[in-house]
Amino acid sequence: MALRAAVIGLGIGRLHADRLAAMEGVELAAVADLDAALAEQVGTACGAAAYADGGGLLAREELDFVSICTNPATHLSFTRRAAAGGVHVICEKPMAPTLEDCDGMIEACRQAGVLLMVAQKKRFEPAYRFIREQSAADFGPVRWAAATYALGRVAKPWFWAEEDGGGPLHENAVHMMDILRFLMGDVERVYAEGGNLFNPDYPAQVDAAAITLRFAGGGVAAVGAGQASEWGFATEHVCFSHDNAVAEVDGPFDAPSRLRYVLKGREEATVEREFADFDPFRAELEHFADCVREQRQPLVPGEEGRASVAVCLAVKESVRTGRVVRL
């Protein structure tokens, strides 16, 4: 029987709804948005019931899983309500504004015996997956990484609020922190220089930073992140140096489709690959549906989402205090 799914929040959630409506073995039963007209429009397009409030949807629909795509300050309350009803949860990144909220989400799902996955989509990107697989094989572990990951302007007020999206270094850089953790392990300490460099409209928020990370396994990384670019110009570029290879992943911002690598000492044999048309939203949602069906832990359980939020909070603390922050 098809899994019954729903989406709450139809900004980026619109993409989740489209993917779920087209997915084999899944029935998109309902969608919700505070903008009732938007909910109706997406519901009609996807053949799903429409609600003007996520709480009403969860109260009325019989579901196997829900995708929470609202602003981060609401992730805890929706997760609690879904878990209390026995509904598995996939939640958009960043998991939450605070570690206390992350803990609340993990605990609610643990107590209810439902799965919790944070939608850190980069873990599904083929270029990064290749780096991870090769790290465990010929390449050896990543010892050093350097990343450029600067985005354009986002005008949404919740994005800039410390108690919600937490600004570019929380709402957005969490993608880069998560993929570096996935490839290099737990972060041990963070030092960052930055500030409110470009957005006087949001003076309280750290909008860009130059970040250094030391990993528990001994690796190091440098990351330039934040709202320091322009949409259409912004790129994603990460260099990795392993014991036995060097590699680069790059492409337009959030679409890192190109991979180059070479084994050390074999410069004449550089390999270039292109992963065109990859859809990370479909990949993460298919993965979660499989996990629900097979009752197995997803690739990004709540604890992993929490650990990536912790790095983002440490980055901002380091900028604000001028100190090294240990995790």
Ligand X SMILES: NC(=O)c1ccc[n+]([C@@H]2O[C@H](COP(=O)([O-])OP(=O)(O)OC[C@H]3O[C@@H](n4cnc5c(N)ncnc54)[C@H](O)[C@@H]3O)[C@@H](O)[C@H]2O)c1
Q: Which one, 35 or 201, has the nearer CB to ligand X?
A: 35
* Residue of the chain from 27, 33, 64, 236 that contacts ligand X (CB under 6 A): 33
Rule CB under 6 A: is residue 318 a binding residue for ligand X? no
Rule CB under 6 A: is residue 8 a binding residue for ligand X? yes
Q: How far is the CB of 312 from ligand X (least distance, A)?
A: 12
* Residue of the chain from 110, 156, 266, 293 that contacts ligand X (CB under 6 A): 156
* Residue of the chain from 64, 92, 207, 236 that contacts ligand X (CB under 6 A): 92
CA distance linking residue 87 with residue 80, whole number of Å: 10
CA distance linking residue 70 with residue 93, whole number of Å: 10
The interface region with ligand X, picked from 4-12, 41-49, 132-140, 317-325 by CB under 6 A, is: 4-12
Rule CB under 6 A: is residue 87 a binding residue for ligand X? no
Radius of gyration of the chain from Cα atoms?
20
Q: Which one, 35 or 138, has the nearer CB to ligand X?
A: 35
Rule CB under 6 A: is residue 12 a binding residue for ligand X? yes
Cα–Cα nearest to 210, from 221, 198, 199:
221
Hey, what's the torsion of the CAs at 152, 128, 289, 60, to 10 degrees?
A: -20
Site string for ligand X, 42-81 (x = CB under 6 A): -----------xx--------------xxxx-x-------
# binding residues, ligand X (CB under 6 A): 24
Rule CB under 6 A: is residue 119 a binding residue for ligand X? yes
The tokens describing 323, both together, are: 């100190």
Beta bridge mates, 260: 248, 272
User: How distant, in Å, are the alpha carbons of 1, 56, 202 from that of 312?
Assistant: 40, 33, 18
Q: Which one, 139 or 171, has the nearer CB to ligand X?
A: 171
Say whether the peptide bond before residue 94 is cis (omega within 30 degrees of 0). Answer: yes
Q: Which one, 94 or 219, has the nearer CB to ligand X?
A: 94
* In the chain, alpha helices (H): 13-21, 36-46, 54-60, 75-84, 99-112, 126-135, 157-160, 174-184, 280-294, 302-321
Beta bridge mates, 246: 241, 262
CA within 13 Å, CB half, 45: 14
The interface region with ligand X, picked from 87-95, 138-146, 224-232, 313-321 by CB under 6 A, is: 87-95
Q: Which one, 179 or 245, has the nearer CB to ligand X?
A: 179
Rule CB under 6 A: which residues touch ligand X?
Answer: 8-13, 32-35, 53-54, 69-72, 74, 92-94, 119, 121, 156, 171
